[in-house]
């Protein structure tokens, strides 16, 4: 099962992704987590990514593509994976399709879109700022991330709709309710 999770920042992709890992026994690949780890470790890659992340902008395509390519090549990703935070623009989606073709796969099975309103997103992320203290959960950066999502990532809904792969679910409700609706569509 090869799944892409789509949705604005704070829509619950990370949380639902973790539950899908446990349910389907396939790894989750989160470019955001990988980038935060690189920043924390102070690697070259982390140093290159940090300014864009702190500003709520996208990190350069070649950086995130390198991360995903490396991870998808590992044996545990062969039978399936959950992508959280990648692809985030059309160029990344095209590269992903190319990578999967090279790996002999017909592409992703489903793009699961968690729909949550902008006001609810801002509320959740401000709340997360207090609890987790993530560097990019500040109101101006949150607004920038939503803007970048709408401009660059939202078009992926059309990209995957053209492949007949998108399913949109309401990302409001309890974590378990939302998870139940995802599993129902994935089977
Ligand atoms: P959120 O979904 O809450 O915005 P993520 O953890 O997915 O958070 O990403 C945090 C930041 O990492 C993004 O704002 C961006 O700067 C960077 N990032 C993550 N994934 C990508 C990607 N696929 N392409 C470019 N930048 C990315």
pLDDT digits (tens, 9 = 90+) for 100-110: 999 899 999 99
Number of structural domains in the chain: 1
Average pLDDT over residues 84-103: 97
What lies within 8 Å, CB to CB, of 41 at 6+ separation is: none
pLDDT at 133: 83
pLDDT at 26: 97
Q: Which of 32, 148, 171 to mutate to test the pocket of ligand 1 (most atoms within 8 A of CB)?
A: 32
Tell me the pTM.
0.95
Query: With 90 as the cut, is the pLDDT of residue 141 above it?
Result: yes
| Helix, strand, or coil (residue 52) | helix
Residue identified by tokens 């500003």 is 55
Q: Which of 58, 116, 122 to mutate to test the pocket of ligand 1 (most atoms within 8 A of CB)?
A: 58
pLDDT at 92: 98
Find the domain containing 179 and state its range.
2-186
Q: In this structure, what token pair is assigned to residue 164?
A: 């007949």
Going from the C-alpha of 126 to that of each of 133, 136, 142, the distances in angstroms are 10, 10, 8
User: Can you spell out the DSSP letters for 59-92?
Assistant: PPHHHHHHHHHHHHTSGGGSS-EEEES---SHHH
Query: With 90 as the cut, is the pLDDT of residue 135 above it?
Result: no
pLDDT confidence bin for 32, thresholds 50/70/90: very high
Instruction: Write out the catalytic residue numbers.
Output: 13, 88, 128, 134, 145
- What's the CATH number where 176 sits? 3.40.50.300
Residue ranges in the chain assigned as alpha helix (H): 13-24, 31-41, 44-55, 61-72, 90-102, 118-132, 139-148, 155-162, 175-186
């Amino acid at each position: 099962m090869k799944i892409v999770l789509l949705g604005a920042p704070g829509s619950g992709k990370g949380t639902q992704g973790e539950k899908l890992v446990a349910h389907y026994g396939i790894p989750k690949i989160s470019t955001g987590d990988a980038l935060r780890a690189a920043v924390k470790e102070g690697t070259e890659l982390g140093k290159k990514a940090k300014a864009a992340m702190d500003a709520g902008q996208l990190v350069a395509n070649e950086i995130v593509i390198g991360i995903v390519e490396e991870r998808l090549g590992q044996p545990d990703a062969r039978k399936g994976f959950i992508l959280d935070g990648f692809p985030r623009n059309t160029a990344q989606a095209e590269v992903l399709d190319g990578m999967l073709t090279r790996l002999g796969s017909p592409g992703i099975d489903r793009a699961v879109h968690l729909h949550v309103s902008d006001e609810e997103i801002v509320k959740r992320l401000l709340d997360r700022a207090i609890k987790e203290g993530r560097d990019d959960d500040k109101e101006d950066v949150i607004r920038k991330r939503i803007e970048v999502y709408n401009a660059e990532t939202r078009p992926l809904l059309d990209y995957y709709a053209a492949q007949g792969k998108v399913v949109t679910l309401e990302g409001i409700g309890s974590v378990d309710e939302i998870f139940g609706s995802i599993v129902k569509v994935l089977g």
